[in-house]
Structure 1
């Protein structure tokens, strides 16, 4: 019954799109505007209907695809047992970047991929298409970087390592640096919700208000990599095998340790609060349940994971990207594999 209703809504959208394609050849601007409004209304109704179904229990054991195959969106799992990644595609690294050392990989809202490449001479932000094809270099930095995040729209934040204590905002569309923040500590992990930006170190962390540019020190938040979910800060402590959670004001909430989590690096969360960890020390991706009582290894060496370093999830589509390594011709190369919910970078 549910599948039939979803199909009917999808058919209605397809019919409206076909009709609109025909009238654009002869219609006035007003007629085209009305046609677009009708498509938007129908699409919005379908979206709300799917969200309503998703909020219930009907979809718990189902993996439903909507729309065309290449635009399919997947529902985020609601139980840890449901998380079973499968391969989708790989990023294509340019020939001149075979020694790519990927320190961050992020997914833009439109599906494009952002990669922070660190080299001995400096670091670069690279942009890849939805299909994993290299598009262009966004920006270059003279010294080594540590992390990057998408702040909002086309704005990206990059933390600069070592003695600079700086984090820079980059316009990914115009390919230029638009602002530099000077902090009182080293800049490691960075994350933002568009209004606030959090920058971590193992000494302390800083919250930057992106509206008035004020800075607030969070003395108790100490982490190598950080992520945000519903106002809380999540972080990993590499040398202590810890995953920690803090309030946005800095107070510790919980600490999680498990023998499956070894030398954790990057982390991210899906829209249901599952925490995904790049467990660098044992070549695996581990997920922690929202109540932080259970964990499960979802990708391992058997899946091609080797020294995973970074991870990100598009909360709307469920797509995840993971940066890990592979040995080839005596050189260590960063790679990434894509699955229907997960992905890892790859060199050709």
Structure 2
């Protein structure tokens, strides 16, 4: 309901702004034409004044007589033009006024709607399992982490892409701690910021080289990999400036951070960057186009594959999960419980893999509106997930991103 109201008000706002722009342009055009005509008439009058001065100096009486007849004819036309301007109300002041037209029904929302609903406490039987031991000792086994079958994302909203930006090719998505979203546009090499309501706010930064991936780091900063440039840039989102560049010996494709380190991956090797002293550790056996971090473990996918791999921070392989439900794996992220979320680009779905890398489940598919997913991110504190997807609108398709609650 909140989204419907937001979309409706946004549409009303857009209509009145379009109307304002149209009327302002029309008024401005008329004024420009009028000023041009008046300047032309003023030029003619200046020419007549010059001609009159020359006649008084050099002309004979007969020439003066003929010349004055012509000047009189021209001045009559100028006088008639000025009279017509005044008669047709061209000299009146014109202002753009806004006539407020808010219906009482819309205003009544502020008075009549007191709540979106009531919160009740429902009691269900306990799932606590007790394993008895000695009489003076007992172990209580509580299932804190939900099972994979319990993961069911709830649709929140779709980012509203402005009409002049519907050629986006979203390479990466970032769910920020404050509820805002960022997307990395490969088409124009730019980083874009959206509000928590999905409204476009502004362009944060643009790049001359080709960006590949992005992630939140800490303190209003995000890191972006610049592919074949072998560079990773750390950007301050509030100041819109690059505050750090990291040069590596390999391509920079996937990037992930926990606030203390950066993991920058490629299909050749990967590098861990310590953000405190900027020291580098190269992991030769860790390879991936996309990368994620969780509790000191590193997770990777390779484009075109059907697997996800989990490594220790030392580069030692812990497990690899391969499944036919994963086709052309792309973006990767994890939730607060360690479940691995993969954008399965080849079959238009989002697949979740269990923390031990043994089972998986498709939680979103083409039936849920997912098409050509490439990027995915989860903010573990808020449980907000954002997924890039192709959207169809009035027979036109364009790239956007969809937000869910995990």
Q: CA deviation at 1:87?
A: 1.8
Structure 2: gaps spanning 5 or more residues: 1-124, 129-143
- Bigger-Rg structure (1/2): 2
Match of 2:380 among 287, 290, 315: 315
Tell me, in whole angstroms, the C-alpha distance in 1 between the residues paired with 2:223 and 2:211. Answer: 11
- Number of equivalenced pairs: 267
Alpha-carbon distance change, 291 to 101 in structure 1, aligned in 2, over 3 angstroms: same
Alpha-carbon distance change, 299 to 104 in structure 1, aligned in 2, over 3 angstroms: same
Match of 2:261 among 178, 196, 199: 196
CA contact (8 A) 2:177 2:382 kept: no
2:319 matches 1:251: no
2:370 matches 1:300: no
TM-score, scaled relative to structure 1: 0.73
2:333 matches 1:268: yes
Task: Describe the superposition over 1:127-182 as per-residue Cα deviations: whole angstroms up to 9, x where unpaired.
Answer: 111111111111110121100011102111000022x1111010101001111111
2:186 matches 1:141: no
Match of 2:181 among 110, 113, 122: 113
Match of 1:166 among 231, 236, 256: 231
Alpha-carbon distance change, 305 to 59 in structure 1, aligned in 2, over 3 angstroms: farther
Tell me, in whole angstroms, the C-alpha distance in 2 between the residues paired with 1:128 and 1:97. Answer: 13
Q: Give runs of aligned pairs for residues 150-161 of structure 1, distance below 5 A.
A: 150-161=216-227
CA contact (8 A) 1:324 1:334 kept: yes
Larger RCO, structures 1/2 (Cα 8 Å, 6+ apart)? 1
Task: Describe the superposition over 1:193-222 as per-residue Cα deviations: whole angstroms up to 9, x where unpaired.
Answer: 111101000000011111111111110110
SS for the counterpart of 1:262 is: coil
Tell me, in whole angstroms, the C-alpha distance in 1 between the residues paired with 2:395 and 2:212. Answer: 25
Report which of the two has the higher share of helix: 2
Alpha-carbon distance change, 58 to 187 in structure 1, aligned in 2, over 3 angstroms: farther
Tell me, in whole angstroms, the C-alpha distance in 1 between the residues paired with 2:389 and 2:126. Answer: 36
CA contact (8 A) 1:101 1:118 kept: yes
Tell me, in whole angstroms, the C-alpha distance in 1 between the residues paired with 2:303 and 2:173. Answer: 18
CA contact (8 A) 1:99 1:331 kept: no
Q: CA deviation at 1:330?
A: 7.7
Q: CA deviation at 1:316?
A: 1.8
Q: CA deviation at 1:272?
A: 0.6
CA contact (8 A) 2:256 2:263 kept: yes
Match of 1:226 in 2: 291
2:148 matches 1:83: no
SS for the counterpart of 1:238 is: coil
RMSD: 1.9
TM-score, scaled relative to structure 2: 0.63
Match of 1:127 in 2: 193
Report which of the two has the higher share of strand: 1
Match of 1:185 among 233, 241, 250: 250
Alpha-carbon distance change, 245 to 58 in structure 1, aligned in 2, over 3 angstroms: farther
Alpha-carbon distance change, 59 to 266 in structure 1, aligned in 2, over 3 angstroms: farther
Tell me, in whole angstroms, the C-alpha distance in 2 between the residues paired with 1:182 and 1:160. Answer: 10
CA contact (8 A) 1:227 1:269 kept: yes
Tell me, in whole angstroms, the C-alpha distance in 1 between the residues paired with 2:215 and 2:233. Answer: 11
Tell me, in whole angstroms, the C-alpha distance in 1 between the residues paired with 2:211 and 2:300. Answer: 18
Tell me, in whole angstroms, the C-alpha distance in 1 between the residues paired with 2:225 and 2:305. Answer: 22
Task: Describe the superposition over 1:45-64 as per-residue Cα deviations: whole angstroms up to 9, x where unpaired.
Answer: xxxxxxxxxxxx9699xxxx
SS for the counterpart of 1:145 is: coil
